Amino acid sequence: MTAGPHLGLGIDIGGTGIKGALVNLADGTLTTERIRIPTPTKSTPQNVAEVVAQIVEQSGYHGEVGITVPSVIQRGVARTAANIDQSWIGSDVTALMSERLSMPAEVLNDADAAGLAEVRYGAGRGVAGTVLMLTFGTGIGSALIVNGVLVPNTELGHIEVDGKDGEHRAAGSVKDRKGLSYPQWAARVSHYLQVLERGLWPDLIIVGGGISKKAEKWVPLLECRTPVAVAHMLNNAGIVGAAYAARENLST
């Protein structure tokens, strides 16, 4: 299957699974079931590239491929590595993937991809001004998008909150690890958002990540200055945003 004007392929690399699907770029929907392959135990760039190649092959797609990584990505090079092998740091992921796939690849941070997807097709569609997307999962990912333009690699999960990394206070995983109730965890998220709001005045905050499936249990409890919307695309935002970024050549 060759990339048509509206068909793209997005692949989302996570600490436990690598997921991909064909995306209808006209409306941001998936046109196929997601393919999911567990992340190799030794999650080096080379091992992960093999899995990415398997997904591309299974999809039958030929064209530019969008790929997300839980890393800061500067001009194709990974600068950090969250929940994946540390050997990603310093590796030119765009070169590695394009070579392995023999297709053009666009590589970007996972939360940046999710933010682009929500602003283009989801909860941030048509919103003028500054949109901040936050993904609450194992860590906290962030994407800052100003009038549709991404300010890449914001890494706001790592701002300090009461002497600790923000994501160690308020990520989705903290709720499970500490056995917190939704109200207890929501209070932590509110505090984290209020710390963010000292330095940023977004027009909208979009909350996503796995825990946004249960948004009704915690989003109404949030206390912060900025209006909060729930992500529309949940677990598919990374895939959709990656496919969109690849089509638009949105290099970070």
Q: Which of 45, 115, 122, 139 binds ligand BGC (CB under 6 A)?
A: 139
Confirm or reject binding of residue 118 to ligand BGC (CB under 6 A): no
Nearer Cβ to ligand BGC, position 124 or 157? Answer: 157
Question: Nearest-5° angle of CA 105, CA 238, CA 89?
Answer: 60
CB of 111 within 8 A of CB of 209? no
DSSP, collapsed to helix, strand or coil, labels residue 232 as coil
Confirm or reject binding of residue 135 to ligand BGC (CB under 6 A): yes
Confirm or reject binding of residue 85 to ligand BGC (CB under 6 A): no
3-state SS of 159-205 is CEECCEEHHHHHCHHHHHHHCCCHHHHHHHHHHHHHHHHHHCCCCEE
Q: How far is the CB of 235 from ligand BGC (least distance, A)?
A: 12
Confirm or reject binding of residue 70 to ligand BGC (CB under 6 A): yes
Q: How far is the CB of 69 from ligand BGC (least distance, A)?
A: 8
The residues with which 23 forms a beta bridge, in sequence order, are 8, 30
- Residue 135 identity: T
State how far the Cα of 215 lies from the Cα of 205, in Å rounded to an integer: 14
- Count the site residues for ligand BGC by CB under 6 A: 15
Q: How far is the CB of 57 from ligand BGC (least distance, A)?
A: 26
Confirm or reject binding of residue 155 to ligand BGC (CB under 6 A): yes
DSSP, collapsed to helix, strand or coil, labels residue 30 as strand
Q: Which of 12, 64, 85, 110 binds ligand BGC (CB under 6 A)?
A: 110
Instruction: Show the site string, 162-201: x = touches ligand BGC by CB under 6 A, - = not.
Output: -----x----------------------------------
Q: Which of 67, 101, 64 shows the shortest CA–CA distance to 252?
A: 67
Confirm or reject binding of residue 157 to ligand BGC (CB under 6 A): yes
Confirm or reject binding of residue 242 to ligand BGC (CB under 6 A): no
Q: How far is the CB of 150 from ligand BGC (least distance, A)?
A: 13
Choices 41-49, 107-115, 179-187, 224-232; region in contact with ligand BGC by CB under 6 A: 107-115
Nearer Cβ to ligand BGC, position 135 or 235? Answer: 135
Confirm or reject binding of residue 109 to ligand BGC (CB under 6 A): yes
What distance lies between CA 86 and its chain's CA centroid?
19
Q: What is the DSSP string of 99-157?
A: HHHTS-EEEEEHHHHHHHHHHHHSTTTT--SEEEEEEESSSEEEEEEETTEEE----GG
Q: Which residues bind ligand BGC (CB under 6 A)?
A: 70-72, 80, 82, 109-111, 135, 137, 139, 141, 155, 157, 167
